[in-house]
Structure 1
Amino acid sequence: MAGALFGGAALGAVFGELLKLVIDAAKQAINFKSTLNRLERTLTAIEPVFTETVKLNKLLDARKEETDGFIKHLEDGKALVEKCSKIKRWNVYDKRNYNEKLNDLHSSLVSFFQIDVQAQLARDTRKILLGVNNVDEKVEKILSILENGGGVRHSNGFSGCCGVPGVPGFIVGLDLPLEELKVMLLKDGGSVVVLSAPGGCGKTTLAKMLCRDEEIKAIYEANIFFVNVSKTPNIRVIVQNLFQHTGYHPVPEFQSDDDAINKLEIWLKQIGQHPLLLVLDDVWSGSESLVHNSKFQIPGYKILVTSRSDLPGFDSTYKLKLLNHQNAVTLFRHIAFPQNGSTYVSDDLVDKVVRGCGGFPLALEVVARSLCNKPEVKWKSTLRKWSGGQSIFGSNSDLLKRLQTSLDALEEMPIVKECFLDLGSFPEDQRIPASTLMDMWVEMYDFYEDGSDTFEYLDELSTRNLANLILTRKVANEVDDYCTEQFVTQHDLLRELAIYESSQELMEQRPRLIVDISANNLPRWWRGKMQQPINARLLSISTDETFPSSCCDLELPEVEVLILNFRTRNFTLPQFIKGMDALKVLIITNYGFGSAELNNLLLLGYLSNLKRIRFEHVSISSLGTSILELQNLTKISLIMCEIGKAFQNCTLELPSIWPNLVQIDIDCCEDLVEFPAGVCNIINLKKLKITSCHELCVLPQEFGKLTNLEVLRLHYCKKLPELPQSIGNLQKLELLDISDCSGLNKMPTQMGELCGLRTLHMRGCRGLGELPPSVKKLGQLKDVICDEDTACLWEPYKSYLTNLKLTVLKEYPNLRWL
């Protein structure tokens, strides 16, 4: 029983005693102040839950044996805190020992609430009817306090893959549609409501507003799921994402689409204690079967579908109208004249431009941004290019022609326009990592390696509403971090604009060739015999499971960037890669669920000019010698890949392994347990980033061979216990990031040999009890970014490091699981 976990007054009393003891000790203690403060914050945050559950326990049958163990645990905690207050400052051993015990106490409290309480509260919810609302309110308050104070979020920066996205800060004209759509959704009878409108009308924004409406949230509570469907939906991936979003583990594999649908129905019925709302966003004509297959006989279950088309055969359809002129003017002026709405062009001219946008919110936003701060002559020129300014666009292609004028504002910034067109190379409704774009643009447009140019141009596109720049966490102010943790998204209509603009020239003369392949349907020009080679610099192919990898009839002598986007569990590199002599950048991304086995990698050995490789969400079982000897390769990125077997199965002792490689990025590779010693033979390596590799626990002593290393990031490798002693050989190292390496229990004694070290990140290193005395020799060290627990470790050395600046970031316990 949930209430039994707390054992009534006895447990409540001992919990209160522990909290009071911790508060008093934190005020007096010198040795453990930061640790005690953290423990105090956690106890204070969960105290309301204890109080309410003790009251509720009177309504339930408590079993004494379930509480005795935890009461004993709290009593031991009290004794521990009392002992800590008696430890002398000079007793270094006891300070470290008892600091670890306090951390263990804190972890056990969090673990208890995370596992036992969560599981049993879920099991016994129906038995706590009289008090559950009060507990929920207090939990929400706890979450709000912790998140507002800087609580830890998921590493990817998002609440979940099927959570409701945020809405824009300024919205007009959707209040009445929101109320009308809500009435249609909540009326009795019918389980599917279709929200229909042309692209760029605000369908998705309205759907988000509905999900965030207080009345809707009160009805559906946590059972609101928001799914991006797009043009070529993969039913199995969609269902797997739904399972993952709700914490289902392990996420099941499905044998077929029917199997996925059957499992989805069973799962929805199991969680359907409250009404359910499933939002299927951007369903294209021809994909109605997905909606039909998602209809189940579950009480209170509703489906909201957004679509550019009127989908026949469903219960209700709400047709979202274009903005009326008054709302269109309001939206347009908000963007075009941001300085308090002041205008420097005539109202008549503004009126004509607004009418030319036809009430499309997207057209209004983009055109307004392109005309912001421009003289009247630019406005008049825009009207002329619209050839009379029709009031309503007859089709999306007509709207695309209108939106083309927004690119005219980039005439003086041709590279920005090229960057916008390049965004069309990636699938719709997908986040594009800024680091991927940086790899492309460094080679195509001679951008800086540090990403500053990339960030500047993406920011320019974002400012003009031609793309959305997403920062998943606050980015450190360092030269190699401009593109870290940043992504770009683009409205489907803007992607179509980029593809449309790129397709205006003859096939053989296009600078970029963007190909979408579905169901093995190759474009007509590909099926026929090309009269001459394709001279594009960029080739992007997006496909599903049916891509014919045997196609080898393309001549691509000028392609410098190849982007392969796919969704399948097995992908074979196409044979035409073998003849791409000019290729510099290869980007391979699997957008399906689970890693895809990547085959035919030996073809990469023919790409003598290849400089950058980026693999995402793929499995690599082996690496051939020809690949390891690529003479011009400068950077390789492995994101969410399975690479353990590849490192184990290949001979990495080759003296010529990647002779010009200067950067390796490894992120979220869960099967990387031991960093391969052979990689340490890459003596020209300057940047090594190993982030969120949770199973990594061994760095070899050969690490000291990387004597040219300047940046080493080991962020969030939580099982890594120590750094190799040979790290002291890295005398050119300027930046070391060991933040959130919670398992790190000691620093190497030779740390002081890092004579070039300037910046050290060590927030979240809870296991460190002390620093080696050699750190006093780090004369070049200027910035240490840490938390309260690790800041105190530097106190004895401040007098030696006169230029040192400590930046202390606050840490709060992560109680989002409540």
Structure 2
Amino acid sequence: MATNLEGAALGPPFQMLFDYMIRIPVEKGLVFKEEFEDIRTRLEALDPMIKEIVKSNMVLDRPKSVTIDFALVMEQGSKLVSDCWEVRKWYYAYKWPGCTTKLQKLRKSLDRLLTILGAQTALDTTKIRIKLDEMDARRSSRAEISNGLVPRQVEVELEGGWEVPQVPDFTVGLDKPLNDLKVELLKGDRSVLVVTAPGGCGKTTLAKKLCLDADIRERFKGNTMFVKVSKTPNLNHIVQELYQYNGRKMPFLQDEEGAFMWLERLLREIGQSPMLLVLDDVWSESATLIEKFSFNIPGYKILVTSRFKFPKFEPAYELEVLNDSDAMKLFCHYAFLDGGSPNIRDDLVKEVVQRCKRFPLALKLIGSSLSGERREIWQRELKKWSKDSSVLKSKTELLRCLQSSLDVLGEKDPVLKECFLDLGSFPEDRRIPATALIDIWTELNGLEEDDASSNIFCLKKWNLANVVITRKDVDEEDDYYSEYFVTQHDMLRELAIHQSERVAEGQKKRLIVELTGNKLPEWRKEHKDQTFNVNLVAISTDGSFSSEWCDIKLPEAKVLVLNFQTKNYALPGFVKNMTELKVLIITNYGFFAAELGDFQLLGSLTKLTRIRLERISIPCLRQTSIVLKKLQKLSLFMCELGHAFSSIKISEVLPNLVEINIDYCDDLVELPAGLCDLIKLKKLSITHCHNMCALPEEIGNLDNLEVLRLRSCIDLERLPDSISKLTRLTFLDISDCFSIRNLPEQIGELQSLTNLNMKNCSRLLELPPSVLDLKELKVVVCDEELKELWEFYLPIDANIELRSVKDEVNLNWLENHRS
């Protein structure tokens, strides 16, 4: 276990080097002035953090030997700087090369230390909070949040996802198990409780209800954490999320041993009162994870849900299937949501419930599929089920039972069924971005974007998926789905994959590959140059994948989905031969942005129209020399842009770009002016980029721009005057742009503007008179204060809807955003 001696060991040597560098006159360093200035800059950045480490007994998340290594570097650095400063022109010829190399090594060591301490993250977070505190003080006319805290809607954006998820509105059969587990948690002496049952029986719902129970909440004082473990858990990611959720600085983790060390340290710090940790959906492969989470901390208890039994933690609580009465209630709730179906006899309902074997997931899905159907459809479905089939005997038979409900969907809406099967392209227990699905369905099924987005909610209606909305204004209708996500039950995902694989070899539409470690697919052993005539390819790899890619041929693939967890990731070599590819979706499920190698392979994809990248460090496009002439939509989510668009003429690399979405990209400070040369651009969305402070004046060159979103860009202080040239702009969103003080004087020249969202623009205290010239303006979304301002300017007969939004936190958004 690391101790505070590590921080103390580093302090004095650093201070010696820091003091020396501050004292010496750098301008007299005739030979190494540039190197000295670089080193001084890094030392000035490190100084406050080193002092904080020593002052607060913090430790570095590195072995003691590494800390000592840093101390030695500091000591040697002091002598090195002294020697190099003495070098003079008359004899630098033989000494200069050696000094230069050593100074560069010292600079790299300081860079490494800066990375470990997470300097940039800490400074960014502090900057945001200071700015929000500053703004909150100016909002005196509004109801302030108690104790002077920053506005909660922004504070939550900085938090992680261990909050207890919502419980479904309707549940049955959980009262007894809920009471049984309460007694064990409140009075029992067992530190680990395991709830076990087959998938789809309601284990997770039971755990959620238990966490939200009044007695449990009183006992644990809200000190409850809920985490999805899934089949291939990423421990480092879990620990980092837990630190973020508890408002602490995230440690840099190299391995699982270090992760558990930091986890125990945190749990002991927050374990002053009783604490409940829920590990949801633990698979048999992760049995050791339960042991590693079991620390000897007073009042600390763990609740585990799993499809499997763990002998070391017996006896487990076995969640039983529903009794006949509860099974009937659950089925009827979903089958008769609208009050009933024509000519459905009670005995027919009972027979269907009996075929479902009282299995909750089957009751819910089959009930939903039969809702509103005629008696003949019910009877036909009953004939399809074998008398001996049971949803409880095995996973295969459960899938077979669920297949029946999917067949009904296929008869009603074959395209919607195909959309459901595409959900299997994403890893288990991961939120699926709605925008990714919209991109897939638009190109793969030939749908319009509004039809593709509506299919998300159709799947929800069929209980084949859930929709999670993380935005505050969940009722706002603006056709922007960056903060919409789709989730699905694990068993439903298996159903989608099973259905995709069960068709005849020549008729397969999807190739879904999940690789664990370096284990390649079985078919790779038999056919090294395998050809797959499929439309969609999805490949998921875990954090230990490092193998070379299979050399497969995909001549007809239109969609490629790549899911990974490693810090460095190279595009598969076979990508360059996917000549029909239209959609590329790359998602890094690690905690930090990943370097993407072989990016230049995209240059050979002449039909590529949509790219979506998540948590990717975008390489410099000048170095890749790619040109994507057909690309129409580019979406970047939580990416690092760096110098991606520097030193290139963007209009030549992306000449036909129509839509750009940039979300949660923290290193975006100023929008590259070259993007304003994209004359075909119609939609530009930049949201939650907290550090973006300026838009280029050239934005007025975007003659065809119709939609401009700048949501939650809290550092943005003004809109360029040239925005008035955007005569085709119909939608402008500057909501949550707290720093904007004024609108452009000539904003009235936006003759096509119909919708303006300006809620939470707290510093905007007046409107320019030209707003009266916005003849096409129909809807303005704003706060009460701005509504009064608009009413003052507008004539009584103005045909403009002023939608007033209260400055309060939407509780559904609050919970979803933490999940």
Q: TM-score range by the shorter chain?
A: 0.7 to 0.9
Which whole-Å CA distance do the structure 1 matches of 2:669 and 2:478 have between them?
Answer: 29
| Local SS of the residue matching 1:505 | coil
The aligned counterpart of 1:175 is 175
Q: Is the 8 A contact 2:749 2:774 kept in 1?
A: yes
Distance change >3 Å, CA 517–CA 740, structure 1 → 2: same
Q: Which runs of 5+ in 1 are unaligned?
A: 1-98, 116-150
Q: Which residue of 2 aligns with 1:84?
A: none
C-alpha contact 1:786 1:806 (8 A) present in aligned 2: yes
Q: Residue 649 of structure 2: which of 653, 668, 691 is its match?
A: 653
Q: Normalising by the residue count of structure 2, what TM-score does the alignment of the two structures yield?
A: 0.79
Displacement of 1:110 after TM fit?
5.7
699-708 vs 369-378, which deviates more? 369-378
Deviations 1:779-809 (A, max 9, x none): 2222211112222332453139833332222
Using the size of structure 1 for normalisation, the TM-score is: 0.79
Give the aligned partner of residue 682 of structure 1.
678
| 8 A contact 2:602–2:626 mirrored in 1 | no
For 2:433, the aligned partner's letter is: P
Following superposition of structure 1 onto structure 2, how do residues 257-268 of structure 1 map, counting pairs within 5 Å?
257-268=256-267
C-alpha distance 339-658 of structure 1, shift in aligned 2 (>3 A): closer
Deviations 1:209-231 (A, max 9, x none): 11111111111112111000000
Alignment of 1:93-242 (within 5 A): 103=138, 113-114=148-149, 153=153, 160-242=160-242
For the Cα contact (< 8 Å) 2:556–2:580, is it kept in 1? yes
State the SS of the aligned residue for 1:604. Answer: helix
Cα offset, 1:343, TM superposition? 7.3
Given that residues 681 and 706 in structure 1 are in contact (C-alpha distance below 8 angstroms), is that contact kept between their aligned partners in structure 2?
yes
SS of corresponding position for 1:576: helix
2:407 is aligned to: 408
Please name the residue that 2:444 is paired with. 444
Q: Is the alpha carbon distance of 1:806 and 1:300 closer, same or farther for their aligned partners in structure 2, counting shifts above 3 Å?
A: same
- 1:324 matched to 2:320: no
Are residues 207 and 243 of structure 1, via their aligned partners in 2, closer, same or farther at CA, if it must alter by over 3 Å?
Answer: same
After superposition, the C-alpha distances for 1:124-177 in whole angstroms (9 at most, x for unaligned) are xxxxxxxxxxxxxxxxxxxxxxxxxxx964588898501101111111111011
Fraction of identical pairs, as percent: 49
1:193 to 1:316, Cα distance in 2 relative to 1, 3 A: farther
* Distance 1:531-1:256 versus aligned 2 partners, 3 A rule: closer
Q: Which runs of 5+ in 2 are unaligned?
A: 1-133
Paired letter, 2:284: S
Rounded to whole Å, the distance in 2 between the matches of 1:656 and 1:312 is 63
Q: Given that residues 236 and 257 in structure 1 are in contact (C-alpha distance below 8 angstroms), is that contact kept between their aligned partners in structure 2?
A: yes
Report the more deviating stretch, 440-449 or 179-188: 179-188
Paired residue secondary structure (2:560): strand
Structure 1 residue 340 displacement after superposition: 4.4
Partner of 1:8: none
Which position in structure 1 is the counterpart of 2:463? 465
- Tell me the equivalent position of 2:375: 376
Specify which of 720, 744, 747 is matched with residue 743 of structure 2.
747
For 1:244, the equivalent position in structure 2 comes to 244
Note if 1:721 corresponds to 2:687.
no
Deviations 1:537-561 (A, max 9, x none): 0011111123346314100111101
Q: Could you list the per-position Cα deviations for residues 358-380 of structure 1 after superposition, in whole angstroms to 9, with x for gaps in the alignment? A: 12100110011111122222222
Task: Single out whichever of 710-719 and 776-785 deviates more from structure 2.
Answer: 776-785
Q: What's the CA shift for 1:309?
A: 0.7
SS at structure 1 position matched to 2:692: coil
Counting only pairs closer than 5 Å after superposition, residues 287-306 of structure 1 correspond to structure 2 as 287-306=286-305
Per-residue deviation, 1:645: 2.8
Tell me the residue number matched to 1:352.
Answer: 351
8 Å contact kept, 1:226–1:281: yes
Report the Cα distance in structure 2 between the residues aligned to 1:699 and 1:111, rounded to whole angstroms. Answer: 35
Are the equivalent residues in 1 in contact too, given 2:688–2:713 (CA < 8 A)? yes
How many angstroms apart in 2 are the aligned matches of 1:576 and 1:158? 38
The question of 1:254 aligning with 2:253 is answered yes
Write the letter of the residue equivalent to 1:190: R
Local SS of the residue matching 1:644: coil
The amino acid across from 1:736 in the alignment is: L
Q: Note if 1:278 corresponds to 2:277.
A: yes
Deviation per residue, 1:610-660 (Å, 9 max, x gap): 00000011212322476662110000000111113323xx32335523111
Cα 1:653/1:173, change in 2 over 3 Å: same
- After the TM superposition, which residues 18-97 of structure 1 pair with which residues of structure 2 at under 5 Å, given as runs? none
Which amino acid is the alignment partner of residue 493 of structure 1?
M
Contact 1:508 1:532 survives alignment (8 Å): no
- Do 1:158 and 1:472's aligned partners in 2 also have CA atoms closer than 8 Å? no
Aligned in 2, Cα 1:201/1:379: closer, same or farther, shift over 3 Å? same
1:278-333 deviation digits (Å, cap 9, x = unpaired): 10000001211111111101001111111101112115410111111221112111
Question: Is the CA contact (8 Å cut-off) linking 1:549 and 1:575 kept in structure 2?
Answer: no
Q: Which amino acid aligns with 1:289?
A: T
What is the aligned length?
A: 678
**In structure 1, how many angstroms separate the alpha carbons of the residues matched to 2:701 and 2:447?**
30
2:806 pairs with 1:810: yes
Please, what is the CA RMSD of the aligned residues? 2.6
Residue 168 of structure 2 aligns to a residue whose secondary structure is coil
Is residue 771 of structure 2 the alignment partner of residue 775 of structure 1?
A: yes
Residue aligning to 1:763 = 759
Taking a change above 3 Å as real, the CA distance of residues 732 and 715 of structure 1, as seen in their structure-2 partners, is same
Give the match's secondary structure for 2:295.
coil
2:638 equivalent to 1:640? yes
Partners of 2:390 and 2:623 in 1: how far apart? 63
Amino acid of the residue matched to residue 704 of structure 1?
A: G
Is 1:575 paired with 2:570?
A: no
Instruction: Within 5 Å, give how 1:301-312 maps onto structure 2.
Output: 301-312=300-311
Report if aligned partners of 1:762, 1:784 keep a CA contact under 8 Å in 2.
Answer: yes
CA-to-aligned-CA distance 1:417-473 (integer Å, 9 cap, x gap): 001101111111111121111111110111113xx2123222221111111122334
Q: Write out aligned runs for 1:695-706 (5 A).
A: 695-706=691-702
Does residue 1:618 correspond to 2:616, yes or no? yes
2:412 alignment partner, SS class = coil
User: Does the CA-based 8 Å contact 2:356-2:362 persist in structure 1?
Assistant: yes
How far apart, in 2, do the equivalents of 1:300 and 1:667 lie? Answer: 41
Determine the structure 2 residue equivalent to 1:542.
Answer: 540
Shift of 1:106: 7.0
Structure 1 residue 767, shift from structure 2 partner: 1.1
Report the Cα offset of residue 107 of structure 1: 9.7
Report what 1:556 is aligned to: 554
